[in-house]
Structures are given as structure tokens and as C-alpha cells.
Amino acid sequence: MTPPALKVSSLTYAYPDGTFALRDVSFSVTAGERVAILGANGAGKTTLVLHLNGVLGGGPGEVHVGGLRVEKANMRECRRRVGIVFQDPDDQLFMPTVAQDVAFGPANLGLTGDVLATAVDDALKAVGMAHVGERAPHHLSFGQRRRVAVATVLAMQPELLVLDEPTSNLDPASRRELSDVVRHLDLTVLIVTHDLPYALELCPRTLILNDGTIAADGPTIELLADEALMTANRLELPFGFDARRFAP
């Protein structure tokens, strides 16, 4: 049988001061799924994400990506398989040109010549930024830089794409452009966000974290329409937004 794209088993993690950030977290994600991860600040979302490619680890439990355990012996391949796009694109853009930024990751994997150039071109086309390859990243708008940051990850040909607060600081047009990109990717996608309408727009399934545990796992529309669940987990929809209107 084909292994799940992501399998998290009994994952528990405490920081050095003894604070538990994750408590016995288990779930799996099928290849091609788009899943939102929601939760109030301090719920454990960032800690979970940092376990997916081995930035954090060492506690009880396991993470497997495409059947490969995330551990020191497999770290290079795990970090290729799991592409994380962080909230601030400037954390991932540091080369003189956009094309050089997108080429950095695959070049470190050993790609050269025409193969590298194709990887860069394909990644920029996938995010609608093929026309900016020779421009300096800092000359782009914030929304354009965020899409280029996605391209730097896509060029590594990941199996799992993780977007951390992808809509923060985006204007409505940039938000729509990014959603169009995500919707057309042939990838498994996790979206960590406080933007609940965005989760509803892009992710049929949602996980809600609360105090390091999974408080709910189910269809996004059903969870967002459950007022008691939302209140218990300190989640609030924008004023006037009624998730029940989107129920089938």
C-alpha cells in the first residue's frame, strides 16, 4: 500500500523550561489533500510544523513523510520532501536575483546546467512569476515576494508543502493570487493560518490544535460552523461571516 503523505504518531514535545507544546498528537494526511491547521496563539501549531522537517525533535513519537521517518539519518531527504514557506518571505530571499534565490535549494541538491534552469523556470511559472527572474527580490511587492518564496520551495520538488500564515500582510488581490497558485498545485498542502475564511476556501479538511492536542479533525465547513467548538478553542470568524452559508 502507498504510505500516507504525512503520518504523525503520538508526538509529544516539551521545551527546556518544561512547557509542553505537543501532547500525544497523531494524524495522517493522504497524498493530494489540502489541510488547514488552526488554533489560537500558543496552541502548538509552530512546534508541530518544526517537527515535520526535523528542526525540532527528540521527544516521544514519530513523524513519517511519504513513509520515510524524520530523523537525523534521513534529514537531507526529509527536508527536500517537506517544503516550509515561512510567514516572512524575506527570511527565505537573500540572493541578488529572484532566479538565484529559486536556484539555491536545488543547486545544493546537486542540480546543474539545463536541469537546474528547468527547475527554476518551472517553479517560477507555477507561481506566476516567470517574468521576474532577473529582478532583485527587494524590488518586488510583498505579495510577489511571498509567491517567490513559494517558488524557492517548489524548485526542490517537495512532496509536502507547508504554508505558515500565508495571507498575513497581503492585500486582497495578492491574497487571491496566492490562493489561485495553491489551488492549482499538484501537491499535498498544509496551511497553518488564523485566516479562517482562507482555510474554508482552500482546505476541505481542518485540524484544530488546543494546548498541544488535537481538539478536532474534520471537514472545515462543519468545524467552522460549530459555534461551541469555535468558542472552546478561541477561534473567531470575521464579523458578519457565517460559515453555515457554505454548508452543502
Rounded to a whole number of angstroms, the distance between the first and last alpha carbons of the chain is 32
- The torsion of the CA quartet 220, 203, 217, 47, rounded to 10 degrees, works out to -130
Report the topology of domain 6-246.
Rossmann fold (3.40.50)
pLDDT in tens, 114-155: 999 999 999 999 999 999 999 999 999 999 999 999 999 999
Residue in 181, 220, 192, 175 with CA at minimum distance from that of residue 86: 192
Report domain extents, the chain. 6-246
- pLDDT confidence bin for 239, thresholds 50/70/90: confident
Angle between helices 113-126 and 142-154 (to 10 degrees): 140
Strand-pair partners of 205: 35, 219
- Please give the model's pTM, rounded to 2 decimal places: 0.93
pLDDT of residue 224: 95
pLDDT, tens digit, 9 for 90 and up, residues 21-40? 999 999 999 999 999 999 99
